[in-house]
């Protein structure tokens, strides 16, 4: 099937090579000024920072597109109501490797705790002092996992193997504790729930104030789960002890690009990057060989299924009902 891929990178084009579908790769993201590229393509395939709002969807529909294949598990970037009303089928890759994101989450925790980013910079300068590098044993600590689905469950399992007590906040689970209790009792809080209107700014000033002084917050979920300005205030006051982010509220115009030659326009991100106890990666949690291969094979299956029967498979389809759950 003729499919227009948006926001593609060299590493993705390689894993999709040799498919039976007639794929055209565009580097540009999909937005209201690039929808004309998709005209005549029954399917478009997008990534996390392509914004499929109502205006974009209307333009796609006018160009003959009927199928939206998401190369991601998250679907917060698609207006599902507009998609349903305009008659689109939407499919995602619900689970390509929870281990990839879970392991990146643990990497951020370990790196921040033992200050590996600072130690590495120091030893390269032949500064072998330990001052400022003091960490703690994870063994015996309490980890708060917000959202214990596929990724959160793997994080919990790994942290239990470290000898941690794991508290889980997830309305779908019987052993869930309240978010308040989790924040008050955890040494590390890590976010793995989807972004939806209900979880937007789940962590704001009030929730940060509830966290233990000196504790760590990790967000590898979605940027909008956390109020970035509230993070700045908590870091400046010294209350939040460490922050690891793989996602950022305003990442759409920043991540997956080399902006090293231009002045950074985002003042909140620029300030976040000045703290020694903050570690930011640019949405690379999914970026392992295994995950990329799984994303490619599931996406190609989604295209084949739509071509075969005009619908997304039940397991991979994204419908409005999921937004409400
Ligand atoms: P999942 O659907 O298996 O699990 C999500 C869990 O969150 C569910 O158990 C659900 O009950 C729970 N949940 C929903 N609302 C909640 C709330 N208000 N408070 C606490 N828990 C809540 O999803 P999965 O595969 O574990 O992925 C989680 C998220 O991770 C995705 O939605 C996506 O945003 C993000 N992600 C990030 C990646 C990265 O590269 N950094 C890659 C893949 C996913």
Over the stretch 264-303, which tens digit does the pLDDT of each residue have? 999 999 999 999 999 999 999 999 999 999 999 999 999 9
Catalytic residue among 12, 89, 249, 251: 251
Ligand 1 midpoint to CA 74 (Å): 8
Across residues 175-192, what is the average pLDDT? 98
List the domain boundaries for the chain: 2-96+289-309, 98-280
Active site residue 222: yes
pLDDT at 325: 37
How far is it, in rounded angstroms, from Cα 213 to Cα 250?
27
202 CA: nearest ligand 1 atom: 18
How far is it, in rounded angstroms, from Cα 248 to Cα 53?
19
The model's pLDDT over 80-102, given as tens digits with 9 standing for 90+, comes to: 999 999 999 999 999 999 999 99
pLDDT of 323 over the 50 cut:
no
Q: Which residues line ligand 1 (CB under 6 A)?
A: 73-74, 95, 98, 101, 146-152, 169-172, 192-195, 198-199, 220-222, 246-247, 283, 285-286
Across residues 108-125, what is the average pLDDT? 98
Across residues 194-221, what is the average pLDDT? 98
pLDDT band at 16 (very low <50, low <70, confident <90, very high): very high
Ligand 1 midpoint to CA 33 (Å): 30
What is the strand order of the sheet 242-245 is part of? 165-169, 142-146, 188-191, 216-219, 242-245, 278-280
Contact 256, 7 (CB under 8 A): yes
Active site residue 251: yes
Please tell me the residue having the least CA distance from ligand 1 atom 32: 194
Ligand 1 midpoint to CA 146 (Å): 9
pLDDT band at 233 (very low <50, low <70, confident <90, very high): very high
Q: Which of 169, 193, 246 to mutate to test the pocket of ligand 1 (most atoms within 8 A of CB)?
A: 193
The model's pLDDT over 152-178, given as tens digits with 9 standing for 90+, comes to: 999 999 999 999 999 999 999 999 999
pLDDT at 239: 98
The model's pLDDT over 47-56, given as tens digits with 9 standing for 90+, comes to: 998 999 999 9
Please tell me the residue having the least CA distance from ligand 1 atom 8: 149
286 CA: nearest ligand 1 atom: 40
Cβ atoms within 10 Å, residue 163: 11
Q: Which CATH number fits domain 2-96+289-309: 3.10.50.40, 3.10.520.10, 3.40.50.720, 1.20.1250.20?
A: 3.40.50.720
How far is it, in rounded angstroms, from Cα 11 to Cα 287?
10
pLDDT band at 17 (very low <50, low <70, confident <90, very high): confident
Which uninterrupted H or E stretch holds 283?
Answer: none
pLDDT > 70: what percent of the chain? 98
Q: Which CATH number fits domain 98-280: 3.40.190.10, 3.40.470.10, 2.40.50.1020, 3.40.50.720?
A: 3.40.50.720
Contact 253, 279 (CB under 8 A): no
Across residues 178-184, what is the average pLDDT? 98
pLDDT at 18: 85
pLDDT of 113 over the 60 cut:
yes
How far is it, in rounded angstroms, from Cα 103 to Cα 113?
15
């Amino acid at each position: 099937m003729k499919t227009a891929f948006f926001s593609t990178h060299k590493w993705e084009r390689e894993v999709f090579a040799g498919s039976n579908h007639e794929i055209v790769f565009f580097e540009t993201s999909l937005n209201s000024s690039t929808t004309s590229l998709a005209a005549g393509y029954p399917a478009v395939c997008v990534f996390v920072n392509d914004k499929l709002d109502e205006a974009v969807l209307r333009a796609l529909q006018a160009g003959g597109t009927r199928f939206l294949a998401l190369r991601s598990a998250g679907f917060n970037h698609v207006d599902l109501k507009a998609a349903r009303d305009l008659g689109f089928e939407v499919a995602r890759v619900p689970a390509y490797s929870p281990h990839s994101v879970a392991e990146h989450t643990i990497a951020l925790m370990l790196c921040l705790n033992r200050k590996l980013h600072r130690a590495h910079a120091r030893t390269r300068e032949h500064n072998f002092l330990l001052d400022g590098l003091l960490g703690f044993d994870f063994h015996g600590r309490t980890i708060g996992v917000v959202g214990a689905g596929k990724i959160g469950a793997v994080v919990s399992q790994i942290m239990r193997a470290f000898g941690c007590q794991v508290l889980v906040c997830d309305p779908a689970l019987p052993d869930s504790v309240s978010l308040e209790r989790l924040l008050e009792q955890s040494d590390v809080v890590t976010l793995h729930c989807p972004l939806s209107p209900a979880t937007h700014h789940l962590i704001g000033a009030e929730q940060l104030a509830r966290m233990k002084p000196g504790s760590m917050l990790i967000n590898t979920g979605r940027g909008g789960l956390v109020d970035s300005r509230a993070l700045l205030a908590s870091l400046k006051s010294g209350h939040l002890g460490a922050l690891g982010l793989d996602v950022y509220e305003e990442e759409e115009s920043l991540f997956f690009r080399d902006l090293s030659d231009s002045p950074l326009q985002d003042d909140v991100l620029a300030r976040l990057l000045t703290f020694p106890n903050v570690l930011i990666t640019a949405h690379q949690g999914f970026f392992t060989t295994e995950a990329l291969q799984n994303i490619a094979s599931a996406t190609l299956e989604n295209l084949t299924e739509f071509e075969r029967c005009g619908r997304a498979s039940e397991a991979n389809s994204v419908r409005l009902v999921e937004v409400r759950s």
